[in-house]
């Protein structure tokens, strides 16, 4: 079973702010790849991340497909995922923080998924 890389959601948001959103795009691409590997299929078209740089509606479509894929991943792994796409869109349009909220929520959820299936740590040897 695929286990992705755990990351600190707060650090990710701060990196995205400091890099003016460039790290956010990289993170979206990497998360899409991880979710696709975990599902065993291409549920999220990662190539759309780079097109979304010049076309904002594509970015929303990407977030929509990511939200659906996370719902499917949650169902496969027996976890709870509540669709947050509408909240992300509204916060993006009215407050400009939707992408940061999405990043935080998605990474927090993925950390839970990866924790669930992470291999146990090696035994402590003195």
Using one digit for the tens of pLDDT, what is the confidence trace for 6-62? 999 999 999 999 999 999 999 999 999 999 999 999 999 999 998 988 888 898 899
8-state DSSP, 119: P
Q: What are phi and psi of 72, to 5 degrees?
A: -65, -40
For the cut 80, the answer to whether the pLDDT of residue 125 exceeds it is no
Whether the predicted pLDDT of 118 surpasses 80: no
Cα distance between residue 35 and residue 22, in whole Å = 20
- Sketch the domain layout of the chain as residue ranges: 9-117
Contact present, 106 and 1 (Cβ < 8 Å): no
Question: Six-digit token pair at 63?
Answer: 């977030």
Q: Is the pLDDT assigned to residue 124 strictly greater than 90?
A: no
Q: In this structure, are residues 2 and 113 in contact, taking their beta carbons and an 8 Å threshold?
A: no
Of the two residues 54 and 126, the one the predictor is more confident about is 54
Residue-wise pLDDT for 86-111, tens only, equals 999 999 889 889 999 999 999 999 99
């Amino acid at each position: 079973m695929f286990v992705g890389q755990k990351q600190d959601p707060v650090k990710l948001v701060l990196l995205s702010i400091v890099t003016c959103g460039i790290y956010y795009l990289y993170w979206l691409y990497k998360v899409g790849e991880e979710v696709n590997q975990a599902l065993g299929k291409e549920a999220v078209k990662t190539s759309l991340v780079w097109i979304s740089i010049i076309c904002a509606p594509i970015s929303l479509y990407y977030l929509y497909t990511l939200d659906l894929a996370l719902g499917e991943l949650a169902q496969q792994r027996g976890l709870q995922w509540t669709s947050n796409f509408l909240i992300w869109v509204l916060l993006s349009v009215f407050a400009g923080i939707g992408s940061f909220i999405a990043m935080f929520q998605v990474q927090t959820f993925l950390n839970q998924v990866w924790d669930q299936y992470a291999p146990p740590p090696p035994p402590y040897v003195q």
